[in-house]
Amino acid sequence: MNLPESDSEDELPPGWEERVTVDGSVFYANHLTKATQWTHPRTGKKKRVSGDLPFGWERCIDKTSGKVIYVDHENRRTTYTDPRLAFAVEEKDHPNDYRQRFDGSSTALQVLHGRDLNGKVALVTGANSGIGFETARSLAKHGASVIFACRDLEGAAEAIAKVREEKEAAGENCVAIYLDLGDLHSVDSFANQVKTMFKQIDMLILNAGVFGLAFSKTVDGFETTFQVNHLGHFYLTLLLRPLLVTGSRVVVVSSESHR
């Protein structure tokens, strides 16, 4: 079968859809040929889901169409897609050969599902909004202590308040510290403050960034986008190296803006 190229082996070709049987077996429907099969059209692998539906979800039959639907009562939405597909695993010959499936539709909460991060410390730059907030929120809700490294402290406080509303204990584990990546003196001051408050950092997530700015220079004389997105983060990582223990991870959030 000639299939279009894809960046992900799990991505389905146009016209294909993933579905789940009552017993958790995943099958694939080809809407173009109106045929179904048990193996993934790209990888040739079989998959299955296990366990109950997430809390608040229910599997129903649509009275009008007769099709299987999934109702999320907590968020009041309905979908034809089984939410457990985010955790579908390949059927392997060896029981210990385990692979988790994540793709562009996976959320941070799904990626961390079942993880206990108590005792871990995470630092997220730009954690007051967007990807940074979702990352920090999810880490905090799974037990990690999270440092919200932000230039907008008011926005950071509001973000932490949202986390506290969802899970009070998670909000209590969050702290906001001022960081302006466009000012290397601010980066230096921030790193010193973190060193006095924490003995280690398990996850350093470099998320903050700017995009589409008119040409300008920082107080340090560097082009703004270059310093905020790269140089400031590089300097911060060097300053925090003493807190990065064996097993710590430095995560750099990338973008497609270079294309």
pTM of the model: 0.64
* Mean pLDDT computed over 85-92: 79
Q: Residue 236: pLDDT above 70? A: yes
At residue 102, the pLDDT reads 66
Phi-psi region of 246 (alpha: psi -120 to 50; beta: other; left: phi over 0): beta
* Mean pLDDT computed over 20-41: 92
Which residue, 121, 169, 168, is CA-closest to 149?
Answer: 121
Q: Name which residue leads in pLDDT, 100 or 160.
A: 160
What are the boundaries of each domain within the chain?
16-90, 108-252
* Mean pLDDT computed over 79-106: 71
pLDDT in tens, 35-64: 999 999 988 889 888 778 888 889 999 888
Tokens encoding 1: 């079968």
* Mean pLDDT computed over 235-258: 89
At residue 249, the pLDDT reads 97
Tokens encoding 216: 């300008």
Which residue, 135, 158, 129, is CA-closest to 204?
Answer: 135
Choices 3.40.50.720, 3.40.50.460, 3.40.50.410, 3.30.470.20: CATH for 108-252: 3.40.50.720
Tokens encoding 4: 């279009």
pLDDT in tens, 196-225: 999 999 999 999 999 889 999 999 999 999
At residue 217, the pLDDT reads 98
- Arithmetic mean of pLDDT over the chain: 89
Q: Residue 108: pLDDT above 50? A: yes
Which residue, 122, 154, 128, 155, is CA-closest to 140?
Answer: 122
Distance (Å, whole) CA 231 – CA 228: 6
Of the candidate ranges 49-53, 103-107, 110-114, 157-161, the one whose mean pLDDT is the lowest: 103-107
Q: Residue 186: pLDDT above 90? A: yes
Which residue, 70, 81, 123, is CA-closest to 106?
Answer: 81
